[in-house]
A and B are shown apart, each in its own frame.
Chain A
Amino acid sequence: GAGVSQSPSNKVTEKGKDVELRCDPISGHTALYWYRQRLGQGLEFLIYFQGNSAPDKSGLPSDRFSAERTGESVSTLTIQRTQQEDSAVYLCASSLETSLYSYEQYFGPGTRLTVT
């Protein structure tokens, strides 16, 4: 079966432009996560969706970042007025449930964002 997919795989944008990143989770996975990985650093949690519950946005670094998810399907992460410090790999993951004890997070290959 298909894993988590993300598009585009690479995105180069000019400072100040808006970008939209897409994540297609594994079918049937109710939980979806976005992480950011800056060069030489570990993954940072950004936002989490679980079913129809309100998303946990506690990891979003600024109000320029937002994300949406329609039901239990596709999610988009939007970065407005991009800055050079937004350059990173953005990773999406999905899982059946939220409990790490029981349910593994499956990661997509990521979108590499470069802001020039």
Chain B
Amino acid sequence: AQSVTQLGSHVSVSEGALVLLRCNYSSSVPPYLFWYVQYPNQGLQLLLKYTSAATLVKGINGFEAEFKKSETSFHLTKPSAHMSDAAEYFCAVSVSNDYKLSFGAGTTVTVRA
């Protein structure tokens, strides 16, 4: 069975600073990996996904993530935080390219002016 660990339930960054959200997964087979964002009072929205085509994945709103097999990680980054990035971020994994996603517990990002 696969599982996802997100390190840090809360991250606070200054506007313009680097955003780094950590995600590690456990899987015995190559995974499909996803990052979702949830803005207040809204549904989850897909930020980006890794499907083995390229290890560095670019998503919406300037976010990107790098798949590192040796570290079983899929960390999410954004070079310069914006106030609108304040939200909860979820990492998710699927190993069978089907509908069953396993989610991490989420990381809440706050952005300081």
A-side residues, CB < 8 A to B, are 3-4, 31, 33, 35, 40-45, 48, 50, 56, 59, 91, 93, 95, 98-101, 104-110
Q: What A residues does B105 contact at CB under 8 A? A: 40-42
Q: What B residues does A40 contact at CB under 8 A? A: 9, 105
Q: What B residues does A59 contact at CB under 8 A? A: 100
Q: How far is the CA of A64 from the CA of B51 in the complex (A)?
A: 36
Q: Which of A42, A56, A101, A108 contacts B103 (CB 8 A)?
A: A42
| Number of residues of chain B lying within 8 A (CB) of chain A | 28
Q: How far is the CA of A104 from the CA of B106 in the complex (A)?
A: 19
Interface residues of B in 1-44 (CB under 8 A from A): 4, 6, 9, 32, 34, 36, 38, 41-44
Fill in one digit per residue for B41-77: 1 if any A CB lies within 8 Å of its CB, else 0: 1111110010100000000000000000000000000
Query: 13 extra interchain contacts, Cβ-Cβ under 8 A, other than A40-B105, A56-B99, A93-B43?
Result: A31-B99, A33-B99, A42-B90, A42-B103, A42-B105, A43-B90, A43-B101, A45-B102, A48-B100, A50-B99, A91-B43, A101-B32, A101-B51
Q: Which of A41, A42, A98, A108 contacts B99 (CB 8 A)?
A: A98
Q: How far is the CA of A48 from the CA of B94 in the complex (A)?
A: 15
Q: Given A40-B9, A100-B34, A100-B49, decide whether A45 and B100 contact each other with a Cβ distance below 8 A.
A: yes
Q: Which residue of A lies closest to B101 (CB)?
A: A45
Q: What B residues does A35 contact at CB under 8 A? A: 103
Interface residues of B in 79-103 (CB under 8 A from A): 90, 92, 94, 97-103
